[in-house]
Structure 1
């Protein structure tokens, strides 16, 4: 059972996250030959204040 765990910065629409889940599932199904029903996708949205790059939060960087 493939388990895909994605961490992204907050701020995307529910529609975009749904599209990501659909496309990751399709690709995993094609590449690994797994059944769609066995593929699990979890998307964690991280607050911009909790994501740092080069010692600066993504919020301060304007991401």
Structure 2
């Protein structure tokens, strides 16, 4: 049973998230031969203030001030 987890910054429409789920499910079916009903997909969306790279949040990269200032 393939279990696929995706974590991404929030902001996509429900339709975009649904399309992602379908594409990931189909990729598992096509690449490893998993039965479609056995594929599990979890999408976690996090706020831009809770996702960082190199100690800079996505919100800060987009121009929001550092809340500690």
- What SS does the aligned partner of 1:12 have? coil
Q: Does 1:3 align with 2:3?
A: yes
**1:20 is matched with which residue?**
20
TM-score by length of 1: 0.95
**1:62 is matched with which residue?**
62
C-alpha distance in structure 1 between counterparts of 2:44 and 2:28, whole Å: 19
**2:50 is matched with which residue?**
50
Structure 2 stretches of 5 or more lacking a match? 64-69
The structure where helix makes up a greater share of residues is: 1
Structure 1 stretches of 5 or more lacking a match? none
Indicate the structure whose relative CO is greater, using CA pairs within 8 Å and at least 6 residues apart: 1
How many residues are treated as equivalent by the alignment? 63
Larger radius of gyration: 2
C-alpha distance in structure 2 between counterparts of 1:39 and 1:55, whole Å: 34
Q: Give per-residue Cα distances to partners, 1:9-41, cap 9 Å, x unaligned.
A: 010110000000000000100101010000000
